[in-house]
Amino acid sequence: MRGRIWIEGPDGTFLGYGRVVLLERIRDYGSISAAARSMQMSYRHAWKLVEFMNGQSQMPVVEKSTGGIGGGGAVLTPAGERAIACFWSAYKEFKAFLAQGSAELEL
């Protein structure tokens, strides 16, 4: 068995595997552009994903600061950290469900 899991919000997909990886990379690199580069994703696409997630969440998952002499940056908020933890917990349970289903289907 194979499957994919994502968390829906009122306006569509809130979190999925790729979005969670993007959030983790933003946490690691402190920058949306660096996170996007590390995933071979355009900055524009990454920025839109962050804006969409922030808009769907009751609290922002990423806080951005504008550029300047030292450049801008981005940090994950506590809500972002909780979103990541929630997704990976559900993902782990989903993978176990698929493994169990696959074992039961073996003939």
Burial-class residue 59 by CB neighbours within 10 Å (0-12, 13-18, 19+).
exposed
Q: Identity (one letter) of the amino acid at 28?
A: D
How do residues 28-46 score in pLDDT, each as one tens digit?
999 999 999 999 999 999 9
Per the model's pLDDT, the better-predicted residue between 104 and 47 turns out to be 47
Query: Which residues have CB under 8 Å from 88's CB, separation 6+?
Result: 20
Contact predicate 78/100, CB 8 Å: no
pLDDT in tens, 54-101: 999 999 999 988 766 666 799 999 999 999 999 999 999 999 999 999
Given phi > 0 = left and psi -120 to 50 = alpha, else beta, which region is 30? left
Residues 6+ apart with CB under 8 A from 63: 74, 75, 77
Query: Does 50 have pLDDT greater than 90?
Result: yes
Local confidence band at 1 (pLDDT 50, 70, 90 cut-offs): confident
